[in-house]
Structure 1
């Protein structure tokens, strides 16, 4: 997987298949999620996921190596 494989508006899912958010873009070694896909109460800022958590990119979806509820979202 290359960071360039990750495209805008791709769905980001945990290993359990549950949606974590949607890609805004890749910044450095992190995926920046769209504000409108942020968890309730957090829609006023972006969240980031470290690229080290990505296990695959296929079919327009980014799959993570952890379940959605285990993913630590960094705030900015």
Structure 2
């Protein structure tokens, strides 16, 4: 079983430094889709953000650990306006 197949809805996504980045909505292709609740403020509010699976280090319990520190990982985030 690959690490990506262990990812489940509502798991916490954290950087290698242990800092919270978001909460899993689902795996969408080669990206982790984060919940809208973790979308930030201002123009970022109400959008799903995506983290590339290439940053996945491991899935441990209820946490998805990334290989990059949080400040680097969020720079890889993609954003998509999504009415759902």
| TM-score scaled by length of structure 2 | 0.85
Q: What is the total number of aligned residue pairs between the two structures?
A: 76
What runs of 5+ residues in structure 2 fail to find an aligned partner? none
RMSD: 1.0
Q: Computing the radius of gyration over CA atoms, which structure comes out larger, 1 or 2?
A: 2
Match of 1:73 in 2: 77
Cα deviation, residue 22, structure 1: 0.2
What runs of 5+ residues in structure 1 fail to find an aligned partner? none
Matches of 2:45 and 2:24 in 1, distance apart?
Answer: 14
Residues 1:11 and 2:12 aligned together:
yes
The one of 59, 62, 67 aligned to 2:61: 59
Matches of 1:17 and 1:55 in 2, distance apart?
Answer: 12
Match of 1:25 in 2: 26
